[in-house]
A and B are shown apart, each in its own frame.
Chain A
Amino acid sequence: MRMLARRLSLYVVTAWVAITVNFLLPRMMPGNPVQQLIGKLTGSITPQQVHAIELAFGIGLNQGLWAQYTGYLHQLFVGNLGVSITLSSPVSTVLKSAVPWTVGLIGVSTILSFLLGTLSGALLGWFRGSRLDSLIPVATFFQAVPYFFLGTVMLLVFGSSLHWFPVLGAYSQSVTPGWHWDFVFSLFRYGELPVITIVLSSVAGWMLGMRNMMITMIAEDFVLMAVAKGLPRRKVIMHAARNAVLPSVANLSLAIGLVVSGALLVELVFNYPGVGNLLLQAVLNEDYPLIQGIFLVITMTVLAANLLADIFYFVLDPRTRTEAAV
């Protein structure tokens, strides 16, 4: 437990550093970005927007850096991430509407890819040298093909030409969003193609990682013992897999941390209304408050996922629990 507490304090410090850097970066921009921005937003600028820009860059506020910083921290603490310049609405509101899409799409695909890859990797490792091995080049091929290219081809072939899957967007325009059957069904239908694309292009990593760990584990004495004990093959494989899966679980937690940042290209190709798409728009429009907000959310989720990985490992591998005592 002491070790976990120590880890936790480390994460708090990291989070603070990330927040501070996030605060300082726009203030270190050369020149006068405020004037540039105001120039861009010709005509339609409101006083609110000007204030948002000033807050973001810390210019024209007649406030010392320290006062700005404490103000920034205070606003963060109450959940105020500022106002988006281009969308004229609070960044937190904008994020709230984008994050669930990305988490849903990328989260489901990541977990699906992990499960599929780890399971097949375990079997490939155990039955290495069998005909199953031919799966490996197929999976690596899909991983090697650029993400967006694979997505485009899938869209063209299975969406536009064959009409097996609906395309563009996250749900059908003919249903109204809400927790009813039609909408959920539409969500699933529209999610299928992007999920398949992501799983196809990422499953090889999980598969090869697990397969290699399995092969290492099979050489271990405790697997030989499992055979010597007369255990059924399923149980022997479990003995090996239980240990082989540890690095994969650590990787999964890290992958989950990257879920929020989204698969920018996939969201673009499938026109999915997630964080990736939002980030692209924000960067193109130089919407600094929004970019800052997105970065902050990504940083925090990566940190949270890392913490989760630590806890997971702590639970799965008893050897890490006594590390602190050494």
Chain B
Amino acid sequence: MNDVDQSLNDTVLEIEDFSVDYGWGEGAVRAVNNVTLSVRRSRVLGIAGESGSGKSTLVYAVTRLLRSPGVIAGGRARLTFDDPGSHDTKRRTVDLTSATSGELRSIRWSQVSIVLQSALNALNPVLRIGHEFDEVLKVHRPSMSKTERRERAAELLGLVGLNEDRLARFPHELSGGQRQRIMIALALALDPQLVIMDEPTTALDVVTQREIVNELAQLRVRFGFSMIFITHDLSLLVELADDIAVMYAGNVVEWAPAGDLYHAPRHPYTLGLLNSSPPLTGERRELVGIAGAPPDLSQPISGCSFRARCPYAFDRCATEVPVLGVVDDSGRKVACWLHETPATVPMPLRIVAPGRDETVPALDQEVVS
């Protein structure tokens, strides 16, 4: 544990140069490549990307939940939280990558909780719902009495709009939406600083999905926890997230405030993702998928990993790997060579987000025509 200067630190989680491999030595596949991200206090970081982009791998590795053969190949992840042990609520920072199993155990769930995609699989099939709550409270709050634990469980279910009689049920007796609500209630049981949502609504129908996202937004305002929300659905994310990171083939290819990213994408991949899901509001438009498939990560990739699927790819993309860099005054970042020279930015990638000054240079007729 290393105590560092906390005066200006308002981030809960800082991920620095983080890399994750599957396998060792020669056969190792790089699933997450030098990712740097941070989650601000009481804010929501959305991570978007298609299957295999490394978004889940990243958070599982950061929380040290990644299973073999996944290994952290480099980087650091620091969690900052109010130390419940000290009297003057001093903030404490723990490097998760070097924490001992004992330290991890005390941090898990009390500071960082997680909600998985399938609540049916995440709940032990032979245990009653009440047991799941009771167990977590018993382990992390040994001073609580049995009745207190029971009351807390009922209170938590109330937060997600469920009756406390659900505590006596088994997971298979509940609907998918109820199960996911129970997982959310369980995740909030110990007032954690950070809640990780790994595609929590993907397995649900659109109506339930909407209800749960709304509830999550309200709960977050009420309790002020930070959240990492992982999904492939950008339009869902834009409502909930403050910042969004888009991942492709293990790299963060774009990072921006949610509204900016949604209304004015800068990376061709983000644009593709947006075009492949229906817009929340406004007129209908034709949905277009992204042609091709993500690259095979076990093969070496030269240049930009999105190059093969990118409609705007040019010579430089084949030889040089683009680096994540700031593109305008808002501080948003993108990893794309198109933005290196303002003149080469294609029309769809130079839209100005509402409320932002026009920071991308004006349209150059000669280049576009």
Contact = CB atoms under 8 A, between A and B. Distances in A.
Interface of A: 219-222, 224-232, 235, 239, 242-243, 246, 316-319, 322
B124 A230 contact: no
A318 B170 CA distance: 7
Given A228-B109, A230-B106, A322 B173 contact: yes
Interface size class of B (residues with CB under 8 A): 20 to 34
B94 interface: no
B85 to A, nearest CB: 15
A242 B104 CA distance: 24
A232 to B, nearest CB: 7
A56 B178 CA distance: 64
B123 interface: yes
A227 to B, nearest CB: 6
Contacts of B105: 230-232
A243 B126 contact: yes
A230 B118 contact: no
Nearest to B105: A230
Contacts of A317: 125-126
Given A231-B139, A232-B105, A243 B124 contact: yes
Interface of B: 63, 65, 67, 104-110, 113-114, 116, 118, 121-128, 135-136, 139-140, 170, 172-173
Contacts of B116: 221, 224-225
A225 B189 CA distance: 14
A171 B10 CA distance: 77
Contacts, number: 74
Nearest to A317: B126
A222 B124 contact: yes
A224 B60 CA distance: 10
Nearest to B110: A230
B124 A229 contact: no
A221 B136 contact: no
A232 B109 CA distance: 12
A227 B136 CA distance: 11
Contact of A227 (B108, B110, B124, B173): B108
Given A228-B114, A229-B136, A322-B172, A222 B109 contact: no
Top 6 nearest A-B pairs (CB, nearest first) are A230-B108, A221-B121, A318-B170, A222-B124, A221-B122, A230-B105
6 contacts: A221-B121, A222-B123, A225-B122, A226-B124, A228-B113, A319-B170
Contacts of A235: 135, 139
Contacts of B127: 242
B62 to A, nearest CB: 12
Contacts of B109: 228-230
Contacts of A239: 124
Nearest to B183: A225
Contacts of A232: 105, 139
B170 A231 contact: no
Could you tell me the dominant secondary structure of chain A's interface residues? helix
A225 B67 CA distance: 12
B65 A227 contact: yes
Contacts of B172: 318-319, 322
Nearest to A236: B105
Contacts of B65: 224, 227-228
Given A224-B116, A317-B125, 14 more contacts: A229-B108, A229-B136, A229-B139, A230-B107, A231-B135, A239-B124, A242-B127, A243-B124, A243-B125, A318-B172, A319-B125, A319-B126, A319-B170, A322-B173
Contacts of B136: 229, 231
A222 B139 contact: no
A222 B89 CA distance: 33
A219 B121 CA distance: 11
A318 B126 contact: yes
Contacts of B67: 219, 224
Nearest to B108: A230
Interface centre among A222, A235, A317 (most CB of B within 10 A): A222
Interface centre among A220, A227, A316, A322 (most CB of B within 10 A): A227
Contact of A228 (B63, B123, B128): B63
A33 B52 CA distance: 75
Contacts of B128: 318
B170 A222 contact: no
A135 to B, nearest CB: 21
Given A228-B65, A229-B109, A222 B122 contact: yes
Interface centre among B106, B108, B126, B139 (most CB of A within 10 A): B126
B118 A221 contact: yes
A229 B122 contact: no
A228 to B, nearest CB: 5
A316 B126 contact: yes
B126 A242 contact: yes
Contacts of A222: 121-125
A300 B107 CA distance: 55
A221 B113 CA distance: 14
Contacts of B170: 318-319
B114 A242 contact: no
Contacts of B124: 222, 226, 239, 242-243
Contacts of A228: 63, 65, 108-109, 113-114
Nearest to B101: A233
Contacts of B113: 228-229
Nearest to B139: A231
A231 to B, nearest CB: 6
Nearest to B60: A224
